[in-house]
Each structure stands twice: as structure tokens, then as C-alpha cells.
Structure 1
Amino acid sequence: MFNFNKGLFKMGKFYFLIALIALNYSFASAELAESRDSLRAFKTPSITISTNRAEERRSPVPFAQITVSEVERKHTLKDLPMMLSELPSILAFSESGGGVGYSNLTMRGFNQRRIAVLVNGVPQNDPEDHNMYWINFPDIASSVDNIQVQRGAGLSNFGFPAIGGSINLETSNFTVQPGATLETGVGFQQFGDNYEQNTSKYSIQASSGIIDDKYAVYARLSRINSFGYRDVSWARLDGYFLGFARFDGNLTTQINIFGGPFADGLAYNGLPKSYIKDKNLRRNNYNFWMYDSTGENVSWITVRRKQEIENFSQPHYEMLNDWKITDNVTLKSTLFFYSGKGFYDFDGTGWMDKNNFRLTPENGFPADVKDPENPIIRAFVYNRQGGWIPRLQLQHDNGTLTLGGELRIHRSEHWGKIRYADNLPANFNPDYKFYSYNGERDIFSFFAREEHNLSDNLILTGEIQTVLHSYRITNEKAGINYTKYINIDGDTVGNGGDLFNIHYFFVNPRLGINYNLDDKSNIYSFVAYTSREPRMKNLYDASSSYTGKKPLFKGEKMPDGSVRYDFSQP
């Protein structure tokens, strides 16, 4: 049951995207088409896992594809963004400098928070901060069958808003013939004037082939090691993928389990621009640095400590179904669940004191407690997300009507502890959490798309999506005490319950047209209105509350100096 209180429906940031008329030429020869077909001839029957995929000469969106043969030729051990950077409008960089670990990309100048990423039609961006963490499924490229990149609003009618574009990955390594592949290799990178071995990969894959004309199983295990290019930016990535498929007459079912635990050394801060051309300086890894008053000379640095590490694991579980009810009616269903649990340890030296750590009398500590020295802070997160995405496709004389929905439920737990420090209070409890809270996100969406053949060469595509987002932060504590705030009505909120519960409702229409000039060229155009909900920290950065962060809602300062918040008005 949902309580839609007055004032809690808010319109967030929105974007109006217009694609200029684009002219597309296709020069695929019959020989090339035959070659590509032969590469896929040994695949089992496939599941069309997403209604978000564009079709050449039908869909009015700019897109590019990487086929399985291209993936097999290009992929070794580097993160997927490195391969995607070969496509138009995409740039990628590696935090470690070695292409293994944390890698990020931009599309059309937009960062990953504005790029929708789907694996088998399942949204992958983090529901709270919108970022995309490719490291959560190491070596996924080894199990990819096809990658499609759409630029702009595209055909993303569920999942996260595609402002910069969308990236759709399809996995399937089921083959008709059984077989196994063992792969091992090492990589070298230039350090100064020398080349050194700094990466390695070990992988085994196996496919059962078709069993009893009905079943297929595929499995992969892999490990990728990297010392990193920058100091203490190592990574150890363990990846796994297990797929099971059943092919019935009118029903196809696929179950996938994939992910991989990983550990790495933190390297997320950049370096001064002047370091780029110096072969030694550019390998440094600082957790903090700053310029002097001139803005040209580096006046202060803090070197990254070896104890600043991360451990995380996010297994993915999904069940995909294609049910051909009649010749003209098909039901597609995606059920999924994934959970991520882990921590990262970072240096608190020089900027954290006893008050930040909440080592205060109200939390049971003596008044004469001293500031901890050389602290290492552990930040923990535990995410769970599950959902269902059904789509009903209705074929008619003039095209296809698709009706669908999306239900996603996200829950998270966050806390921070002192992992290590000198000068701690006597009998300090190492399990003491100086901040903790729970985050909650619910997403409900309905969409409809009509792809209408106005003539043999002219296709009109119209679409509308309605989506409701809800945000909550609850159970927030500062030390051992629940946090409390006063709302605009003078009532206490928080105190172990919801700090806020706010909703965003959007309507996103799209309209496009494609005209095939001849058998080699086509022209298309589209217009789209896309809305994007805020990140959780745009409402309240609860993970940084110990540094003085407050809820980012409209407030009224009272004569006694207190603030009353209107938690319906961010």
C-alpha cells in the first residue's frame, strides 16, 4: 500500500532531446552477411531478451553494435569500457591506469550516471547514486553474445533514463556442439623506460551443447590479476557465469547466475595535470593533494596507504522467458535479483577528529577523549534489488504494439566504522558504528510502443512511458543515537523511522520516423522527452553526515536557531 501524501509528487530534472535528421548508408555485402551468419550457425535458439534493442533500417535511433566475433577477437582481460571506447562518441579511462579494475566511460560528453546500462534487459546502474560499476561482473565480455550502443534517448523504455545513451549487453554462449576452452595469458605494460609483466588471466569455459534436443548449459570461471600502473592500484577479479536454457515448443526459458568477488587497491583520485608527461610522477597515487595560492604548484600531498583497499561481491540471478502464445502474440518476462555486499577502507588522517567519529559523551565516551591518529575508516554497503519486467508484443497487419511494465524494489544498508587508529579510547569497541542508515527505492513503470508501417519503406514509431519513483532514508543513527529532525509542522521525524519519503512521477513520450530510400540507405529522425530522478545524495548525503552534511530540503530557521525542514520540497 502506498500513501501519496499531498505535496510529495515532485518533478525532477528533465531533458528535452531532439535528434537531427540522420542519413544512414549500409554497405553490407552478401559475402559479409553470409560470413556473419556462418559465425552464428552453431548457436542454439536464442531469447530476444529486450524490447530496447534497435533494428537496422527500422528504428529511428543512431546505434552501433559489437558482434560476438568482434568481442572474441578484441577482448583479452581489460575492462569492457576499454573495448566500448572504440565506438563513436565514447571515451574511457582506467583509474589504475592499467585497464583492469575500476574503469569509467563517457558518451557524448555525459558520464556514466547519465548512461543507461542493461545486461539481458536488466538495469545495472546503482539505484541510489546512478553510477555504473563495471567491476561488479568481471570478465563479462567473455560471455557476451552481442553489445548494442544507442546514442541519445534511444529506445530505453524501462530502467534508468538514457540521457547520454544506452548500452545493451546480451549474454549467451550456448552452442550446439559440446566443448571446453582453457585460456591463460600474461600482459606487459611500460613503466618508465622498461616493460614489466603486470597482468595475468586464467579462464575456463564449458558448454554442454544441446541435450535431448531441449536443454543447454554453459559455465565460465575466470581470474584476472593486475598490479596496476599507478602505485598500490592492484586488482584481483574473480568472475563466474552459469547459464541454463530450456527450449520447448512455444516457450524458451533461460536462467543466468553471474558476478564475481573482487578486491583492489583504491586509486580514484586524479593527479595534477603537470604530472602527465613525467613517466615517474604520473604513476603516483594520492588520496589527497592541493595546489598553492598560485594554482600552479602542488603544495600538499598525502600518499595512498596500502591499507586503503576494497572488497565487494554482487551476484546476479535472472530468469528470462519467451512465450509465443499465438502466431501474433508473444509474452516476454524478466525476473531478476541481485545483492551486493562489501566495504572499502580509506584514510582519515588529517581531516577526521573525535567529533567526526562521534566519540562524544552522548555516545558513551568520556569528555576527555583525544582525536584518533592515523585512522583507517571502513565504509560498508549491502544492496539488494529485485524486480520483474514483463512485455507483451502484439503483431498486427501494419506493425507491432508492445505493452510492458517494470517493478523494481531496492533496499540498502550503510555504515561506517574505525577499522584501525592509534590513540583510541580505552576499551574501544571495534564494532562501534559512527554512522548508519538504510536506503529504500521503489520504481513502478508502464510503457507502450507502436511500430507502425505507414508503407513498405516508411516506419513510424511512437512510445510513451509513465514512471513513479519513491525515495526513503530510515533508521539513521549518529553513533548509538537515532537522528532527529523537525519538519515544517513542528513534528519530529527520523528517530528510528522514515526521515523522508518522497515521490517523483514522470511521463516520457518519444516519436520517430524512418524512411528507407533504397536497399542501401535510409533516413530517420526522432524527438524525445526524457526525465531523470535525482540521486539519493541530492536529497541527503547520509554517508557523509559525520562531516556536517544535512538534508537538502527547504528549511525555515526558527528564532531559537533551529531549522524546520519541509521534507516534501527538495
Structure 2
Amino acid sequence: MKNLFAVFIALLLPVMAAAQLSVTGKITDKQTGEALPGATITLSNSAVNAVSDVNGKYHLDNLKSGAYTLKVSFIGYQNTSKNITLNTDAVNNFALSRSTLFTEEVTVSATRATEKSPTAFTNLNKKDIEKNNSGRGFEYLLEQTPSTVVTSNAGAGVGYTSIRIRGSDATRTNVTLNGIPLNDAEDQGVYFVDLPDLASSVDNIQVQRGVGTSTNGAGAFGASINIQTTTRRDTAYAELNNSAGSYGTLKNTVSFGTGLLGDHFSFDGRLSRMVSDGYIDRASSDLKSFFLSGAYYGKKSVLRLNVFSGYEKTYQAWDGVPEDSVKFGNRRYNELGYINSTNSFYKNQTDNYTQNYYQLLYNQQLTDKLSFSGALHLTRGYGYYEEYKNNEPVSAYGLKPVIIGTDTLANTDLVRRLWLSNYFYGATYNLTYKPNNDLNMILGGAYNEYRGDHYNNIEWTQQSTTIPPDYEYSRNHAKKTDFNIFSRAEYRLGKVLFYGDVQYRHISYSFLGFDQDLKNVQQQVELDFFNPKAGITYQINSNSNVYGSVAVGNHEPNRNDFTNSSPQSRPKAEHLTDFEAGYRINESAFSGSINGFYMLYKNQLVLTGSLDDVGGAIRTNIKDSYRAGVEASVRVKIAQQLSWFVNATVSTNKVKNFTQYLQNYDTGTLDATQYKKSDIAYSPNLTGSSTISYHPIKNGEIAFISKYVSRQYLDNTSTQSRSIDGYFVNDVRLNYNFSIKGLKNIGVGLLVNNVFSKKYQSDGATYPDIESGKVANYNYFYPQAPVNFLASLNLKF
């Protein structure tokens, strides 16, 4: 495979010498002359398009001579076009006039960083998203951003997928969808499996690393992911997107939109289905979703209603594969649902969940200097996971042992369902005041409320227990309110931009938990957080700047932290002071950044590496810990048809004075080991990615994509026998776009993952104890698939 790939690339290299033409230029505001970053530039009769950079500049490459129509569009401005004839390289500048219709850009702008903000961030536009939207989990869109590790429970990228940024998992990553919190209110995780194929309805994404700017929802301890869904498209469209590949993976998507009707209305929709057998045995996925959106555009207002839903049924694979199986070559073994008495597996060991979303978004230009954005939202979620349990004590389910003759039946095999039914609703708002180009002020906030019922049923028992069908053995109710208000200002004085941001957040949480007598009673927790931020940016020239910032973040414990502890042992809220400094440059053929960070934690809740019986992570407070590192990224245009994007993060992630307790089965006690300084679990010291993009022909691309992740420890002891080996994985992506009569575009693609069939694990868990005087490691891993593929066909009408 390596030799074939090398020969393939060598055969294509001579094409680089072929003469190709280019169109370059700059997009500006006609009234002010300011650059317009993010404008879309397209060529008629061609699939080539570009997006203007932070300086308003754009490049269209690999063009043949001929006549074209050059079109430019930018939200908030009138579209414009120009007929051109290419015989040589051409320069075409555009000055756009403001649109008479208001736009939706203020919906998410209050929670986003700009190109001059003293914050480390990465933007992904619709073109970036479409190029990588092959059918894998949403997190894979972000895999090539700095400091990122993405993994798949099923091993093939479909089903439960997860992301860590700077070593922090999704419970520490603030995720918003159109400015509305997406994190689960109780466990604070983000489950994109509940919104399959969300990427097909996303317009753009911003990933902020560190505390970042103030936003709604949970505090960001590793990063923020800000997602904006479908925005205005002025012309009607219909799209069919299909992917098929290894392990029975199949994705079908139908999208449509009316464009702008009567100069005021637009409607968009999407219907998706995804299935996969998974690489791990019995790790199948059956996913469905839809997205509907309607909007009204006025001269000074926009009103949009989004209604969307996702359904997932996945065979449970969240415990991973035992280490012994991995070592013996059975990397696909899934032991969940094993039935001891028959040496078989329970066929309905599945997770089943539905989430329905309703968002009403409103934007209003109040004056020339003041605008308002607000939203009402409701999320309805319900579902269960079903599992087979061997030889369970009936007393654990509130039942009495059954006496049959002289036999007392105290244990039985059983099937149980653990249910969750919840509502999450609230309102968000922000006011933006911009009296001139030197001052921008934002006042924003939100009030959100969560109500959730947790209840558990027994569906079947092997032994008679005298219980009725669907017997409910436990139920509890939780309520959480979350209020925040923040204010942010940016003031430019010459070449210096001053940044200030302050947020107040109040949380009230009612839950069923242990009291001081270890009895389950309803309890209440009130938390108040104050999160200030400050920074400065110096603009060296129009293409580069340096910046520095300090930000404070606070974060509440999650549901399990509360319910699995009493008031005396309850974990404390976490506190983070985040220092960031960096340099950015953006030239026509070269752009890059380097960012240094020092994240100083107090009472960080650190993963121990163990999971509870429902796959939840077990965490403990660490008084002192830190993350420090340097992130660097470079994008360079090597030749007219060849470009290279590469990034790397070098970091050290340490906990101080960590005590690990291991169960000693020889003595029946807990043995403690003190570690003065050790590595934080799941925090690699080196991550890096590379994308080499080559355009051998017009509208065709070959991309060679690489990812490196160094060793990750499964607990906080820096013990190599409880760790994940580092790995270096390579993918190949092929894309080609063309058009025929009756079709605007036909896109064919092929994604070959792990092209060299590297055997590796990207995630895992550990349960060490002491047996026969020695530490016994019970490690579980998530092996990822060997070489596999996804082929796609996209039709645009």
C-alpha cells in the first residue's frame, strides 16, 4: 500500500508543471473601505470557489483560459457579479454595498472571537465542513484543529464519538448551537450521536481554546465550540448526498431550500439516515435526523424558527475491548451483554435516545449603532439503554429474596432499562453597541432551566421474583437553573486593541443524593461564579499582530460528582486562571500562528481513568494542577497547485500531590500511594496534524492527512502499563467536482482512513487493584479500524 501510494503521487507530480491561471483580489465595504473577511467568491461553470481572508483577499487557482462570471456574496451586503475573460492571471477587486435586508451575523457574534481578539481560535467555513463531511461523527470535522484528539467507541467513526481539546473532554468544552447551550445540563457532556449528520445543516464553526470569550452555558475549561446552523441562501437549491463504505457504513442525506422568496422569506430542510455495523463487534448504529428552518428577513430584523430532531439506536460499546483481547489479536471483542449461562450475547444491549430541538431566533437593528439578538429554545429528550446483568443480588433492586421450597433465591440474571426523560428550555440575549470602528460593546446573558426524571425498570428476570412486567425499582427528579450575564468591550487606540470581558453566573441544582447519614434525600446546591477576562492586541501591520490575555473560569461538578457523594465529601467547584500569548500572520501565500498557554487550576476535577457501571467517568478534586504548552500552526502555498497545512502542540500537563487509592483484595483495605508530580490522565504531551493538498486537475484535489498523538496515561500516576501508546495515522482524501446539463454540481469523493493499516487505540479506561501482593491492571481500550474507506456522491440541483 505504501509503495502504491508513492507511485501514484509520483505519476501526478508532472502535472504541477502544467500552466494554470489564477484570479486574485480584495473584497471591501464600499462605504468605509474596510476589508470584508469571509466573503464567498465563486466562478460560474466551475466548482472553484474561495473565501476572503482576514484582510479581505481571495485566490482562485487552477483555472483554464476562457469566459467566466465572477460572483461575490457576503452576509449583510448586496451580491455582485462581473463577467471576465481569462487569458492570463487576473486581479479583480470588489467594493460591496450594504444590503437593504438585515442579517443573522449578530446571532453568534456576541460569543465569538474576531481576528484581532487576544484569544486562540480556529474558524471553519461551509467549504471546510463540506469537504470533510463524509459521514463520520461531528467531532471528526475538528480533528485537524490544534490540540485535538478525536476517538470513536465503535472504532469506525460512526455512533458514539468524542473529542478532547488540550486534554479536556467534552464536559469541559462549552458547546453552543446558534448561541444556545448544547452541553447536557447535568453530566455536562456533549453527545453529537443524538444529532446525526448535524454537519449537513451547519454554516460555520469557531473553536476557541482555553477559557475564551464569555458565552452561555457551562464554563470552558479546555475549549469552546460555537456552531451556527443554516443561514440565508438567496437562490433555491436541492442536494442529494450519499456515502457508503467499510463495515456496512451508509449515509443518505436530502437537503433543499427555497432561496429568498418575495425578498423576505426562506425555507430550508434536511432529512438524514446513517447506519453502520461498527468495527468493534456488536457496535452497530442506526441514526436518523431531520432539520427544518424558516426565516423572515426585514430591513432591520430577522426572525428564524429552527425545528430539528435526532434519533439514535446504538449497540453498547462504551466499555471498550479488554487489554488481554487486544494483546491476543482480537481487537474487536465486545464483552457487554455476555450471558454466562449460555455463552452467548444479549441481542438488545442497546442505547436508545431521541432529542427534539426548537429554536426561535430574533435579530433587530435598533439604531445605526445598536442591535439586539435574542432566542427562545426548548429541547425535549427521552430514551433508555437496555442491558443484561448476570447474577445480580435482588436486594440491590429493592426486592426481597424469593423462597421456593428449601431454596432462597437471592441472586438472578436480569434485563434492566435505565430511562431518562428531560426538558431543557430558556432564553438568551445580547445587545451590541458599536458607535464607531474603534469601539465595540456587548451586553449578553441567558436564563436556562432543566428538569429531568431518571427512572429504572426491570424488564425480565431469570429466576422468579414475583414482580410485574416493566417493574420500576427507582426514580428521582433533578432540576437545574442557570443564569448568567456578561459584558464585553473592545477599544482600539491606534495599533492597540484593549479587550475586557466579565461574566457573573449563578447555578441552582436540586437532586437526589446522599445526606450525612448516607440516606438518599432531595438536596439543593447554590453556586455563584465571577469570571473576568482581559487582554491586549498590538497590530504590527495589516497582516500580523501579537496578543496576550488572562482569563478566569469556574466550573461546577457534574451530576455523578454530586449524587455519588455526601455533603461532607462533595467535590468543590473548579477554578482556572488561563494565561495566553501569541502571534498571528496572514499573507497571500503564507499564514500562521503560535500561541503559548499556561492554565493554572485549583481543585481541578481530574479523571481517574475508571468508569462506573453506566460508562460515566469517575473524578476527584486535585488541589494544584496545570497545563502549559505551545501551539503552532502554518498554512503555506508551496506551488500553484500544492499547499500544506500543519499544526503541532507541545505541552506538559501535571497534577501535584496526587493520592491514588487501590483496593487490596489480600487485606480488604484501601492502599494509598502518593505521587508528588505526575501526568494528568488523557493528556498527551505532543499532538500534531498535517494536510498536504494537491490539485492535479481543475476542480480535483488529493489530500494526504496525518495525525500524531503521543502517549496518554489512563490514570494520574504516569504508569506506562496503564497507558495508551502513541500513534501516527494517515488518511487520503480524493475529491472531484464537475457539472453537466441539469445539474449545478456533481461531487465524487473517496476517504481512505488509516491508509497504512496502523494498529492503534485512541482511548481507554483502567481499573487497577491489588491481588496476591501485586498490582493488577484491568485495562480496556478502544481499538480503531485498520484501513477502511468511505465513498461519496453529491448532487446539487
Indicate the TM-score class for this superposition, using the shorter chain for normalisation.
0.7 to 0.9
CA distance in 1, matches of 2:384, 2:178: 27
- 2:319 aligned residue (269, 275, 293): 269
| Partner AA of 1:322 in structure 2 | N
Q: Counterpart in 1 of 2:439? A: 399
Alignment of 1:102 onto 2:160: yes
Alignment of 1:84 onto 2:142: yes
Shift of 1:486: 7.0
Shift of 1:174: 3.9
- 2:346 aligned residue (305, 309, 325): 305
Deviations 1:65-85 (A, max 9, x none): 111011111101110112211
Aligned residue runs from structure 1 range 76-155, under 5 A: 76-155=134-213
* Contact preservation (8 Å) 1:156, 1:166: no
Tell me which structure has the larger Cα radius of gyration.
Answer: 2
- Normalized against structure 2, the TM-score is what? 0.57
- 1:221 aligned residue (271, 296, 302): 271
Shift of 1:164: 0.4
Aligned residue runs from structure 1 range 66-77, under 5 A: 66-77=124-135
| Count of matched residue pairs | 481
Alignment of 1:551 onto 2:566: yes
* Contact preservation (8 Å) 2:394, 2:412: no
Q: Counterpart in 2 of 1:31? A: 58
Deviations 1:368-398 (A, max 9, x none): 8624533122100011110111111112344
Q: Counterpart in 1 of 2:336? A: 287
* Contact preservation (8 Å) 2:142, 2:148: yes
Q: Counterpart in 2 of 1:246? A: 296
CA distance in 2, matches of 1:140, 1:179: 18
* Contact preservation (8 Å) 2:447, 2:483: yes
- Secondary structure of the residue aligned to 1:517 is strand
Q: 1:445 to 1:507 in 2, by over 3 A?
A: same
Q: Give me the CA root mean square deviation.
A: 3.0
Q: Counterpart in 2 of 1:319? A: 360
Q: Counterpart in 2 of 1:435? A: 474
* Contact preservation (8 Å) 2:353, 2:382: yes
* Contact preservation (8 Å) 1:109, 1:164: yes
Alignment of 1:329 onto 2:367: no
CA distance in 2, matches of 1:367, 1:243: 66
- Secondary structure of the residue aligned to 1:260 is strand
| Partner AA of 1:523 in structure 2 | V
- Secondary structure of the residue aligned to 2:106 is coil
- 1:410 aligned residue (446, 450, 455): 450
The higher-RCO structure (CA 8 Å, 6+ apart) is 1
* Contact preservation (8 Å) 1:174, 1:218: no
CA distance in 2, matches of 1:29, 1:330: 24
Deviations 1:442-500 (A, max 9, x none): 11111111111122x211110111111111125x8xxxxxxx96789xxx994xxxx21
* Contact preservation (8 Å) 2:174, 2:218: yes
- 1:62 aligned residue (107, 120, 139): 120
Q: Counterpart in 2 of 1:183? A: 241
* Contact preservation (8 Å) 2:305, 2:358: yes
Q: Counterpart in 2 of 1:384? A: 423
CA distance in 1, matches of 2:336, 2:396: 19
Q: Counterpart in 2 of 1:338? A: 379
Gaps of 5+ in 1: 1-25, 190-197, 290-301, 477-483, 542-549, 556-570
* Contact preservation (8 Å) 2:118, 2:547: yes
Aligned residue runs from structure 1 range 485-524, under 5 A: 494=521, 499-524=522-547
Deviations 1:268-324 (A, max 9, x none): 012244655765x111112399xxxxxxxxxxxx98632210111011111111111
Alignment of 1:359 onto 2:399: yes
Q: Counterpart in 1 of 2:509? A: 471
Q: Counterpart in 2 of 1:161? A: 219
* Contact preservation (8 Å) 1:369, 1:425: no
Q: 1:63 to 1:366 in 2, by over 3 A?
A: farther
Q: Counterpart in 2 of 1:23? A: none
Q: Counterpart in 1 of 2:555? A: 532
Q: Counterpart in 2 of 1:453? A: 492
Shift of 1:408: 0.6
Q: Counterpart in 2 of 1:558? A: none
CA distance in 1, matches of 2:550, 2:344: 49
Alignment of 1:421 onto 2:464: no
| Partner AA of 1:161 in structure 2 | G
Alignment of 1:444 onto 2:503: no
- Normalized against structure 1, the TM-score is what? 0.79
- Secondary structure of the residue aligned to 1:349 is strand
* Contact preservation (8 Å) 1:307, 1:376: no
| Partner AA of 2:258 in structure 1 | S
Q: Which moved more, 1:392-401 or 1:59-68?
A: 392-401
CA distance in 2, matches of 1:306, 1:155: 46
Q: Counterpart in 2 of 1:20? A: none
Identity %: 27
Q: 1:39 to 1:228 in 2, by over 3 A?
A: farther
Gaps of 5+ in 2: 1-52, 62-69, 81-98, 571-797
